Every structure is written in C-alpha cells, then in structure tokens.
C-alpha cells in the first residue's frame, strides 16, 4: 500500500480538553506528530506572555496544532460525497492543518518584531528544508512538501483547500478561540462549533455557510471580538510583552557594543547578526529563552538586569491611557524628564497601540480587501454576513482603537520626594 494511503492498525486518540478526542488513523499524520520539529511546539506557548495575566494560559502550540487538525478532519468527514469537494485533497488538508504553526518561535510576536523575522518563512523552511518533517512529506510524493507549504502560505491553486486553514471562518480560529477561552478560564470564546461544522458547504473556491447557521456564526464573530479585548489585548499581558521586547532590544544593543556578558547569549548570536539558520531557529524555544532571562538578572548592566527581573518575577510596568492627539507634548516632556532622572526612556517609557498586536476582526470585504463570510440562501444565492446580521454589522463598522503609555511606577515612587522631576512626572502620568 502506498504510504499516503497507509492506515494505522488501530486508531490512535489523544485526550483533549476542548474537542474531547483527537483521532488519528493516517500513518503520515502519526509520523508527522512524532517528528522532532513538531514535538518542539510543546515548548512554545500558544499565548506568549498571557500566562502572566491568566495563570492557566500555559497551553502550547502543540495542543493547538492538534486541535486544528481535528477540526479539519471533522469538516472533511462532513464534505465527503459533496459536489465541489475533491477527496484527493484530504491528506494535504490534514497535513497543512497540523503543520500550519510549525515555524512559530519562542514568544513569536516580540521576536519577530525585534529581529525582523517572519514565522511563516520558517514554517516554509522547516517543511522544505533538511528536517524530519520534510522526509516524511517526501515519502508521500516528492512534490508533497511544496504543496503543504503553499497551502499554509495561502498560495495553493485550490482556494477551497486554503480556506479551510485560513479564511475568516477557519479551523485555526475555531480552535484557538475555544482553546484560549478554556485555558484562560474566561467565559467568552464559546460558540456552537458543531453547528457551524454541520452548515459549512464547499462551493467553488471557498467554504460558505448555510443561511440557517447564521446565528451560530454570529456567536463565533462575537467571541472573536470579546476575546480580543478581554484576553489577547489585555493591558497586563501587553505590559509583559513590552518588557520582553525591551529585553531583546537591550541584549542586542549590548552585544553590538561588545559588552562582556557573564552569560554569553550564544543561542541569540545569529539573531543579532540577521543570518538565522534553520538549525539555530529550531534550537531556540521558550525554555532556553527563560533560562537566559533568569541568568541575565545577575548581569552588571542595570537595565538588562532590571528588565529580566521584572519579566521573570512579574514586576510589570504600570500604564495610563494615552491619546497621541491631545498628549503628544506631554509625552515629549515626560521623555525629557525620564532622561533627567537617568531612566532611559527608550526602555522605560513605551507607547503601545492596538495595531502593535494585530488581530483580525471580521472584515466584510469592502473593496476587495479580504474575502468575507458568505451565507448560502435557500435560493442558492450568496449574501455577505454583515448584510444579513445586524449584530455582525454593528461590530464590523468603526473599530475601537487604543493606545497606552507604559512606565515603571515603582522606580518613580522610589525617587526622593524632594527631587523636582518626581512631582511633575507624577502629575503628567496622572498619579496624583
């Protein structure tokens, strides 16, 4: 029997708190899960710094990847025998679902920003490079790794296949919303996924939703909206993210200044140089990063030591709301005051905006920006979701945006009361 069609003698199941069971019957999928590069995802947290706000949020990208695979498996079971669906694409969909986050690095968001990297490039590199994953995919057929990479990169010719993994209602979002809600313990993020899966239909080059399922989709859109403001963009998690990114900036700066580290940042050297190899990338995970942060607490550089202590011991920055239109002069004055008290504002006075953590709200696809969610009417006509749903229309119009100014309240409070800058800083930050 060809490797692509090979089945395990007995179905394997993973217990899962969100989907109850994850079912694996294909030998290829079982082998991919066992590959070194996939196992690495156990050491990358799904929600980065969110565990510092919601202590349960310790789940990994491994959990999520299995979840996305399981949702796609269920969708495809529902698609079996339907027109518009090519069953030959089944294994490709399952493999792409499982591997879609393979290139995520430790604390992805900050690492990507500071070192100008893109996890999607590394997903592609792992799939096409000299890796265990690549060897397994090659056994299916020589072109299979390329096809999987194209689906994940959203450049595969069959858009229907792409839309299962990446569209405005896809398996990725359906898993992470429920999984993140479960592990953070919040009551948002729940919706009737079984109902959505039952009303999904393949149509030409996209997945559409039977009109009768509109209310289940409304719930899903509302979950996305609430999870963004309540979990993903939580100001405390953002504070941790700000500190994390400043640690990376600081350590890079010190390296460029030939600072003599007590704990040499060996795992980071190629990141500083901008020539990260696949091996370096795969070798760096969150356990390694946290080891360095702990060690750097003992460095002589005061800024690096302080930032690492803050991140490790959760001594985060405080924040105030910031309106760049009305407060830009005040922020410039604050910048100067921080310099005057020898608190480097590049590290200790940080504006963070909602666009710094992009999260895709539902977009009705005006002017061909993004493909929207379409409802399939009983007359076989397509209707864009926000045109049919008042609820969706109300949250897909003008968006709430937000800017915050982060600062170390403890260091300001520790200034002597007779230091002239202290009162002015506190007044500008609204601390009096």
Partner 1 sequence: MLLNHARLVRFFIDANSIVGRKKLQKMIYILKKLNLPFDEKFAFHFYGPYSEELTLRIEELCNLGFISEEKQDKGHYLQYQYTVTDAGLSFLEQAPDDLPLCKDEIELLKAQSSRFLELVSTMLFFDDLALEEVEKKVHEVKASVNYSDADIKEAWHFIDQLKEGRVH
Binding mask 21-50 for partner 1 (x = CB under 8 A): ------------------------------
Q: Min. distance of Cβ 108 from partner 1 in angstroms?
A: 11
Residue 188, both tokens: 């948002």
Cα angle 397, 168, 71 (rounded to 5 degrees) comes to: 145
DSSP classification of residue 45: B
Window of 29-37, 99-107, 258-266, 361-369 that interacts with partner 1 by CB under 8 A: 361-369
SS3 94: helix
Residue 388, both tokens: 């049919």
Q: Site for partner 1 (CB under 8 A): which residue of 210, 309, 314, 363?
A: 363
80 near partner 1, judged by CB under 8 A: no
Binding mask 84-123 for partner 1 (x = CB under 8 A): ----------------------------xx----x-x---
Binding mask 138-167 for partner 1 (x = CB under 8 A): ---------------xxx-x-x--------
Task: Name which of 11 and 360 has its Cβ closer to partner 1.
Answer: 360
383 near partner 1, judged by CB under 8 A: no
Q: Min. distance of Cβ 154 from partner 1 in angstroms?
A: 4
Q: What are the φ and ψ backbone dihedral angles of 250, each rounded to 5 degrees?
A: -65, -45
Cβ neighbors of 117 (< 8 A, separation 6 or more) are: 105, 111, 271, 276
Q: Are strands 206-210 and 374-376 parallel, antiparallel or unpaired?
A: parallel
Taking Cα atoms as reference points, which of 93, 422, 362 lies closest to residue 221? 362
Q: At what angle do helices 235-256 and 286-296 cross, to 10 degrees?
A: 70
The CA distance from 272 to 315, in Å, is: 27
321 near partner 1, judged by CB under 8 A: no
Window of 10-18, 51-59, 88-96, 346-354 that interacts with partner 1 by CB under 8 A: 346-354
Task: Name which of 368 and 378 has its Cβ closer to partner 1.
Answer: 368
Q: Min. distance of Cβ 393 from partner 1 in angstroms?
A: 13
305 near partner 1, judged by CB under 8 A: no
DSSP classification of residue 254: H
SS3 258: coil
Cβ neighbors of 188 (< 8 A, separation 6 or more) are: 181, 223, 226, 227, 230, 231
Q: Min. distance of Cβ 358 from partner 1 in angstroms?
A: 4
Q: Site for partner 1 (CB under 8 A): which residue of 42, 55, 143, 370?
A: 370
Terminal Cα distance for the chain, rounded: 75
Binding mask 388-407 for partner 1 (x = CB under 8 A): ----------xx-x-x----
| Footprint of partner 1 on 181-200 (CB under 8 A) | none
SS3 180: helix
Binding residues for partner 1 (CB under 8 A) = 112-113, 118, 120, 153-155, 157, 159, 205, 323-325, 328-329, 331-332, 335, 351, 353-355, 358-360, 363, 366-371, 398-399, 401, 403
């Amino acid at each position: 029997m060809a490797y692509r069609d090979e089945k395990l003698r007995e179905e394997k199941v993973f217990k899962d708190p969100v989907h109850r069971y994850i079912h694996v019957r294909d030998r290829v999928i079982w082998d991919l899960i066992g590959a070194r590069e996939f196992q690495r995802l156990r050491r990358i947290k799904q929600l980065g710094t969110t565990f510092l706000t919601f202590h349960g949020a310790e789940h990994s990208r491994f959990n999520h990847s299995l979840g996305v695979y399981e949702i796609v498996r269920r969708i495809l079971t529902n698609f079996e025998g339907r027109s518009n669906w090519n069953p030959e694409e089944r294994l490709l969909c399952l493999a792409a679902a499982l591997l879609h986050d393979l290139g995520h690095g430790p604390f992805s968001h900050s690492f990507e920003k500071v070192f100008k990297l893109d996890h999607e490039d590394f997903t592609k590199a792992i799939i096409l490079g000299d890796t265990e994953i690549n060897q397994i995919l090659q056994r299916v057929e020589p072109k299979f790794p390329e096809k999987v990479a194209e689906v994940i990169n959203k450049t595969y010719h069959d858009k229907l296949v792409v839309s299962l993994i990446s569209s405005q209602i896809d398996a990725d979002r359906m898993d992470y919303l429920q999984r993140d809600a479960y592990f953070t313990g919040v009551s948002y993020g729940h919706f009737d996924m079984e109902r959505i899966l039952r009303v999904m239909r393949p149509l030409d080059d996209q997945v559409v939703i039977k009109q009768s399922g509109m209310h289940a989709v409304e719930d899903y859109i509302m979950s996305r909206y609430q999870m963004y403001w309540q979990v993903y963009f939580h100001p405390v998690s953002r504070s941790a993210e700000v500190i994390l990114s400043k640690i990376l900036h600081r350590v890079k700066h010190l390296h460029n200044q030939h600072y003599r580290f007590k704990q040499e940042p060996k795992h980071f050297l190629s990141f500083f140089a901008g020539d990260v190899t696949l091996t370096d990338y795969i070798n760096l995970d969150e356990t390694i990063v946290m080891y360095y942060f702990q060690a750097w607490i003992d460095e002589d550089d005061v800024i690096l030591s302080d930032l690492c202590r803050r991140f490790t011991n959760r001594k985060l920055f405080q924040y105030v709301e910031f309106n760049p239109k009305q407060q830009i002069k005040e922020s410039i004055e604050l910048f100067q005051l921080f310099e005057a008290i020898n608190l480097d504002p590049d590290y200790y006075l940080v504006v963070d905006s909602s666009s710094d953590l992009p999260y895709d709200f539902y977009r009705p696809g005006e002017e061909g920006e993004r493909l929207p969610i379409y409802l399939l009417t009983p007359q076989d006509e397509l209707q864009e979701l926000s045109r049919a749903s008042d609820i969706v229309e109300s949250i897909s119009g003008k968006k709430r945006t937000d800017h915050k100014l982060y600062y170390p309240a403890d260091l300001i409070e520790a200034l002597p009361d007779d230091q002239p800058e202290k009162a002015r800083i506190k007044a500008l930050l609204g601390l009096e």
